[in-house]
Amino acid sequence: MSLLIKNGEIVTASERYIADIYCEKETITRIDKNILPPAGAEVIDAGGKYVFPGFIDPHVHIYMPFMGSSTKDTHETASQAALIGGTTTFIEMICAARTDKPLDAFELWMDKAAGKSACDFSFHMGVSRFDPAAERDFREIVKRGVSSFKVFLAYKGAFGVTDEELFKTLSLARELGVITTAHCENADLIQALQARLLAEGKTGPEYHYWSRPPVVEAEGVHHLMTFAEMTGAPVYVVHVSCQEALKEVLRGSARGVRVWAETLIQYLLCDKTDAEKPDFEGAKFVMSPPLREKRNQEVLWNGLRKGFISTLASDHAPFDFKTQKEMGRDDFTKIPNGIPSLEDRVNLYYTYGVRRNRIDLHEFVHTASTAAAKIFGLFPRKGAIQPGADADLVVYDPACRGKISAACQRMNLDHSAFEGVKIEGRPHVVTVRGKVAARDGKFVGDPARGQFLRRERGNY
């Protein structure tokens, strides 16, 4: 059956106009005024609503064994939560352990997602070890359509790479024409600071910040910039949280490093004081890099407006409060890191960005969809509304009012860090390649419709 979306205000990264969108099979085939519904077409009235390209979350963890535990979502729960919130594509990190064979890890992650995801998906291939056997696997994985690597300069002993491995990874990435995404924090400094804080009896969640202050993140970014400069490889700094780190991105860029920066909705809306909440409540706000001083939020909003920061992601990493965060009650280094926001990213960004005049509608679409599609080799199939693009569309109701609550979220989680936060806008209808997947906060689609997206080289 074909799909006709009528009378909506189409908003892309560069255009805004009222028209009808006609979709046949999986793609948009026509955009025009007053398209008459062909026989049998499903018609959606988008009058008074925006129509955005499906949003893309370029940084999620759905399956991730991490810090002695494992993330709570499955691809079924996460992909449906994503769609309810307007995200039609996500890119998940394959967080292979150092001892894992990369190709085995790729197949394991694929097996977890294939046939179980309702939205389209892709992967960043985690590099946690680099030797000749691993290199052979990375070459094969790139051939299979994964055109990005992920390295951690933090989490020593788990996913973290040595400098020699970083140099070899970036050299291979440069040769293969793929981009390397990086978590930038100095792992040795973190270890030393954690040990010192614990020895001083400073064990609560509020000390997580002091084990990873801004300078630790800035040093990580500077480190990556040096290696990217030496190798000529394009790099993407994930979850930039503060002014100090962003300055290092800009310094690298000023000397010719091909670098892109991402920030997260958590850093725009939450701050260091959230992790200081009493009765261990602060554990809900423990993630890395940590939530920062509030003054950084204006720097990040400005970075998004000006294009210094290209993308807005969720870094979805779901761990329950009661059973999982609790593991670190007596030692903040054991609190699984993550503030899940896959379902709420778009609504929060629209409400506190567009509605509060911090970003305009085009900046909103660009940073939450189009830029990720371009950087990661999905554009214009994704991130665009034009004939030939996938019919991933979000009919967005700017008149909807509500509050976030764990009681009604689809994410498989016992809490929400955004409990009670107001939202002023919500997807009315969300489509995945021409089929309705979510309607007014409910998943109504095919739970197995999601496809693995083979990606080519991006625009870098």
Chain residues binding ligand URP by CB under 6 A are 61, 183, 287-288, 315, 317, 337-338
Stretch that binds Zn ion, among 14-22, 155-163, 312-320, 390-398 (CB under 5 A): 312-320
**CA 287 remoteness from chain centre:** 14
Per partner kind, with CB cut-offs from 5 to 8 A, the member of ligand URP, Zn ion, none near residue 76 is none
158, with CB counted inside 10 A (0-12, 13-18, 19+), is middle
Q: At what angle do helices 243-254 and 214-231 cross, to 10 degrees?
A: 20
Residues in 161-200 at the binding interface with Zn ion, rule: CB under 5 A: 183
**Token code pair at residue 63:** 């399956």
Per partner kind, with CB cut-offs from 5 to 8 A, the member of ligand URP, Zn ion, none near residue 342 is none
Q: Does 116 bind Zn ion (CB under 5 A)?
A: no
- The single-letter DSSP state of residue 286 is -
Residue 205 beta carbon to ligand URP: minimum distance, rounded to whole angstroms = 13
Residue 315 beta carbon to Zn ion: minimum distance, rounded to whole angstroms = 4
The CA-CA-CA angle for residues 116, 117, 118, to 5°, reads 120
Residue 280 beta carbon to ligand URP: minimum distance, rounded to whole angstroms = 17
Per partner kind, with CB cut-offs from 5 to 8 A, the member of Zn ion, ligand URP, none near residue 337 is ligand URP
Residues recorded for the chain: 460
Per partner kind, with CB cut-offs from 5 to 8 A, the member of ligand URP, Zn ion, none near residue 287 is ligand URP
Backbone region of residue 359 per phi and psi (left: phi > 0; alpha: psi in -120 to 50; beta: other values): beta
Instruction: Give the residue with the Cβ less far from ligand URP, 43 or 327.
Output: 327
Residue 28 beta carbon to Zn ion: minimum distance, rounded to whole angstroms = 32
Instruction: Give the residue with the Cβ less far from Zn ion, 120 or 315.
Output: 315
**Site residue total, Zn ion (CB under 5 A):** 2
Instruction: Give the residue with the Cβ less far from ligand URP, 98 or 143.
Output: 98
Instruction: Give the residue with the Cβ less far from Zn ion, 117 or 266.
Output: 266
Residue 112 beta carbon to ligand URP: minimum distance, rounded to whole angstroms = 17
Instruction: Give the residue with the Cβ less far from ligand URP, 243 or 337.
Output: 337
Residue 64 beta carbon to Zn ion: minimum distance, rounded to whole angstroms = 8
Residue 144 beta carbon to Zn ion: minimum distance, rounded to whole angstroms = 22
| Alpha-carbon gap, residue 350 to 285, rounded angstroms | 22
Q: Is the dihedral of CA 178, 186, 130, 252 positive or negative?
A: positive
| Alpha-carbon gap, residue 313 to 389, rounded angstroms | 22
Residue pair 93/64 in contact (Cβ under 8 Å)? The answer is: yes
Residues in 259-288 at the binding interface with Zn ion, rule: CB under 5 A: none
Q: Is the dihedral of CA 163, 169, 174, 175 positive or negative?
A: positive
The 313-352 site mask, x for binding Zn ion (CB under 5 A), equals --x-------------------------------------
Whole-Å CA distances, 418 to 62, 268, 339, 409, 441:
19, 12, 9, 11, 16
| Alpha-carbon gap, residue 314 to 82, rounded angstroms | 10
> Nearest CA to 180 among 151, 219, 142, 210?
151
Q: Is 150 helix (H, G, I), strand (E, B) or coil?
A: strand
| Alpha-carbon gap, residue 341 to 265, rounded angstroms | 8
Residue 21 beta carbon to ligand URP: minimum distance, rounded to whole angstroms = 35
Per partner kind, with CB cut-offs from 5 to 8 A, the member of Zn ion, ligand URP, none near residue 338 is ligand URP
Binding site for Zn ion (CB under 5 A): 183, 315
